[in-house]
Amino acid sequence: MKNRIKVYRAMHDLTQEGLANELGVTRQTILAIEKGKYDPSLELAFKIARFFGVTIEDIFLYGDTAKRP
């Protein structure tokens, strides 16, 4: 599953450490999600989306939607 966390992080001028602290997870978890090595739980996905003020679909691209430009 692809995601656009890095983009939203850049838009909000946040470091991985900063976002991790806001969400209550480790920095390595943010890094693993960004690199696509770990798919977050539904709860964490909602937390991320709410933190950036967008929907989950705006951040996480599942299956065919990931291929869209």
Residues contributing to the site for another protein (CB under 8 A) = 15-17, 20-21, 24-26, 28-29, 31-32, 34-35, 37-38, 40-41, 43-44
Closest CB 6 distance from another protein, rounded Å: 9
List the Cα angle 1/30/6 in 5-degree steps: 70
Residue 19 contacts residue 9 (beta carbons within 8 Å): yes
The smaller minimum CB distance to another protein, of residues 31 and 61, is found at 31
Output 13 or 64, the one with its CB closest to another protein.
Answer: 13
Q: Which residues contact 7 (CB under 8 A, 6 or more apart)?
A: none
Whole-number minimum distance, CB 1 to another protein, in Å? 14
